[in-house]
Amino acid sequence: MTGVLASQQLRKMAKTGQITANPAIKDDQIQPSSIDLRLGQTAYRVRASFLAGAGTPVADRIAEFEMHRIDLGPGAVLEKGCVYVVPLMEQLALPAGLQAVANAKSSTGRLDLLTRLITDGGTEFDRIPEGYTGPLYAEICPRSFSVLVRPGMRLNQIRFRAGQAVLSDAELHALHKAERLVDSPAEINEGLGFSVDLKPSAGTLVGYRAKPHTGLIDLERIGHYDPAEFWEEVHSNEGRIILDPGAFYILVSREAVHIPPSYAAEMAPYVAMVGEFRVHYAGFFDPGFGHDAAGGAGSRGVLEVRCHEAPFVLEHGQSVGRLIYERMDEIPAQLYGAELKSNYQGQGLKLSKHFKT
């Protein structure tokens, strides 16, 4: 076994007890190359973000930093700027040789809802070593909007891999030649580079900026909210914008991205050399992303951008990150966008699914 595990393999893991949950895992939690994780019954408001550290259970850290606990059963508000830890319904019993990585779901990232996985004895966010047995927790910090959550909501997802799955640059060059991973010349250097689109084919709308003082977002309400109540439109006539420190933006990649069925991808973390901002790298790119969109021409990647200490000029075509491609161990039984409710297949500039289009 070498590569990222596919949906049919994830179902086997659930049947054999490598992934357990109470209540049991639902079929629609299983995506082409990942499993959605569900919030449990209780949220703990804590003084600060933390990692458990080697040999220490997360429960001990919660006892040390807890300010108060909240029953999510009737629905509860997680307030902007606060840090919460929520035990998840799922637990793991990984065998040797199988490790896991977690990431926020796309809709979570587009709300600037910082969500990271932590584990007992963990020394990194979102990384689970091979052989890990124990509970899973979500650390949640709403950055732009306060949100209403309930048990069972799915803010992050987990992917499993065995062996060396990441493609080298040489392998990535060969795959691009065979499959056309982007609809423009590929910039490959420790992954597939992508840039920002600030010269749309029609009009001047290039993105959205989160308003600083807004109402509450109920995460169960889909297509419900008026974007104008939460977002300011960002326009450009000249292919450049200035990012304000501390502000959160939704932008879109210049490239249309294609993930062939035998591969998956992950947006790599921010690299300091590209500027004074961070691209949020919110979700995984499943096998099939952009594969059946516009005849296989790809789908744009939505960029969740936060500026740091100083105002920063962002130019059209400027590099903002890279995609790391990985082999699948098997082709998933279902692909992203094919017979699945794939909200962002064939997307362009698009807010999260909670907003009216």
DSSP strand pairing (98-104 vs 147-149): unpaired
Q: 95-125 pLDDT, tens per residue? A: 999 999 999 998 999 999 999 999 999 999 9
How many residues appear in the chain? 357
Q: Are 182 and 289 in contact (CB under 8 A)?
A: no
Q: 297-348 pLDDT, tens per residue? A: 678 889 999 888 889 999 999 988 889 999 999 999 988 765 555 555 546 8
DSSP strand pairing (217-218 vs 147-149): parallel
78: left (phi over 0), alpha (psi -120 to 50) or beta: beta
Domains of the chain, each with CATH number or no CATH: 3-162 (2.70.40.10), 169-327 (2.70.40.10)
Res. 220: pLDDT tops 70: yes
Q: Which two tokens stand for residue 247?
A: 């502000």
Going from the C-alpha of 219 to that of each of 81, 139, 180, 345, the distances in angstroms are 17, 17, 36, 21
Q: How many angstroms separate the CA atoms of 163 and 97, rounded? A: 7
Q: 44-73 pLDDT, tens per residue? A: 999 999 999 999 999 999 999 999 999 999
Please work out, in degrees rounded to the nearest 5, the angle formed at the alpha carbon of residue 264 by the alpha carbons of 260 and 269. 130
In DSSP notation, 10-68 reads: HHHHHHHTSEEESSPPPGGGB-SS-EEEEB-SEEEEESS-----TT--HHHHHHHHEEE
Alpha helices in 201-300 (DSSP H): none
Q: 8-24 pLDDT, tens per residue? A: 999 999 999 999 999 99
pLDDT mean over 196-222: 96
Res. 83: pLDDT tops 50: yes
Q: 128-146 pLDDT, tens per residue? A: 999 999 999 999 999 999 9
- Quick one: pLDDT at residue 294? 47
Q: Which residues of 283-317 are buried (b: 16+ CB within 10 A; e: fewer)?
A: bbbbbbbbbbbeeeebbbbbbbbbbeeeebebebe
Q: How many angstroms separate the CA atoms of 355 and 80, rounded? A: 19
- Quick one: pLDDT at residue 334? 84
Say if pTM beats, i.e. exceeds, 0.75.
yes
